[in-house]
Chain A
């Protein structure tokens, strides 16, 4: 059954902007992206919104709904009360381009800073073999759809603009963890660079990234904290460090 809902949409660009109130029809089962599209079709023709799959798999329609970073295509209108105003804004951690669209190129620059997988030089194509239990940890991180909600909610990026240079953010900590845990990756200094170049030590593990992840990746528990422990192995645990040097244990450096 259709009902009218109160929607408050942020409109503007990098120079100015404001929240604009609109009333729009919402049908049973619709998500916030549906009603934004209806507003675009019937009331505000030039409303800018980024979207693609409408299935929670492309990560395009990231925005903030009632102050929480969410995918608009996965947020049911029915989750909000009948009298409640739904406030929709662009991601507040990134520069705004227009209306609900932000410039997320910061994340692509950070992606380029992470060294790629390094294949063993003594294995020819087709010769690599891995056990399932060795790769399943990393596979959790491959579920990432790059919606950048974790980057948006991370207070280091969100509240400290000046740290963006030296802080990669949770999305790229799971990338580093994925590679560091990869059974065949041969790059030996991922832990050191995670701490010294990508700002792992800046994370104070307040778990907001995990809370907002639409893929339910346990970013903090399964990637960031294990990476912090691996950094302790090489930087803050002299016993481990010495043992690894003497015995040349696998995977430590």
Chain B
């Protein structure tokens, strides 16, 4: 990196490279995709933060918001706790009331934050490293994922395992959504459909994950010695092509499930039952 009259001559402006003053000569709308990604992800972060701290309107029998499930705090509304886990957390620590969502959101949040697809999305859209292909990034220093905090991206597999546990819990929540407000089985509402969509997309997102692909068979050197794992790897490889799609759809699915529960729990709309 050479300083030349205040102008940093690095990267594409290095002295040996072709002398072109533009950061990029791309003529297409390269900025559109990172701009949309920024807008959507930022909106989701704002909404999720608001909901995590709101600490109400997250339960209306039989629907519990995925942002608050499993509800592990003593502050949880009656009927929300899963007997398997109980409610091990207090509603206050150091005199400060803590929303039940804050005890659990680190896991799904961590899974998405360390996801190989989302990394691409937010490195481009938020950090502009790079903003788009063949568009010079604004940073002069770069260490990639070799130092803290970004070296923690290597923890993705642990969040993947935690995410699977959450998927099982949310699947159970979806099964419970086949009950009515009096806990009687054999009913189905709009909420049931929203939960079915949300949970199935979460499973597709998890199963198409690169870590899932690696765990099932990617780490093998000899597929021929492990035919079942090879078959599983082949199936997940097909799903893996669609991982970005599942990442976005599942994000909207979770948000829509929470928005629906909030609307029902706050009394804005009734949970419409088909039968």
Report A's interface with B, CB cutoff 8 A: 10, 12, 14, 16-19, 64, 66-69, 84, 87, 89-90, 92-96, 102, 131, 133-134, 152-153, 155-156, 158-163, 181-183, 199, 201-208, 211-212, 221, 225-226, 228-233, 235-237, 250-252
Contacts and interface: CB of A to CB of B under 8 A. Distances in A.
Nearest to B151: A201
B43 interface: no
Contacts of B150: 204
B137 A202 contact: no
B25 interface: yes
Given A155-B129, A163-B142, A201-B146, 7 more contacts: A87-B25, A92-B134, A93-B17, A159-B136, A205-B123, A206-B120, A230-B214
B38 to A, nearest CB: 15
Interface stretch (B80-88, B173-181, B218-226): B218-226
A10 B20 contact: yes
Interface stretch (B8-16, B47-55, B193-201, B255-263): B8-16
Contacts of B154: 228, 231-232, 235-236
Given A87-B25, A95-B16, A134 B145 contact: no
Interface string B214-256: 1000111111100000100000000011000000000000000
B25 to A, nearest CB: 4
B116 A205 contact: yes
B18 A251 contact: no
Interface residues of B, number: 55
B211 interface: yes
A202 B141 CA distance: 12
A209 to B, nearest CB: 9
A161 B10 CA distance: 7
Contacts of B10: 159-162
Contact of A12 (B18, B116, B135, B241): B18
Given A68-B26, A229-B218, A161 B1 contact: yes
A201 B137 CA distance: 18
A181 B25 contact: no
Given A67-B134, A92-B12, A205 B19 contact: no
Contacts of B211: 229
A205 B120 contact: yes
Contacts of B151: 201
Nearest to B132: A208
A64 B134 contact: yes
B240 to A, nearest CB: 6
Contact of A92 (B18, B123, B139, B157): B18
A67 B145 contact: no
Q: Main secondary structure on chain A at its contact with chain B?
A: mixed
Contacts, number: 169
B124 interface: yes
B240 A221 contact: yes
A75 B134 CA distance: 17
B25 A229 contact: no
B123 A158 contact: no
Nearest to A17: B19
Contacts of A14: 15-16
B210 A207 contact: no
A95 B18 CA distance: 7
B146 to A, nearest CB: 4
B229 to A, nearest CB: 11
A89 B137 contact: no
A251 B221 contact: yes
B92 interface: no
B246 to A, nearest CB: 14
Contacts of A199: 144, 146
Contacts of B4: none
Contacts of B17: 92-96
Given A163-B142, A205-B119, A155 B19 contact: no
A216 B200 CA distance: 31
24 contacts: A14-B16, A19-B20, A64-B134, A67-B24, A67-B27, A68-B133, A69-B133, A87-B25, A87-B27, A94-B17, A133-B224, A152-B134, A153-B133, A158-B11, A158-B12, A158-B134, A160-B10, A201-B144, A202-B146, A204-B129, A205-B120, A229-B210, A232-B156, A236-B155
A92 B223 contact: no
Contacts of B18: 10, 12, 17, 89-90, 92, 96, 102
Contacts of B142: 156, 159-160, 163, 202
Contacts of B26: 66-68
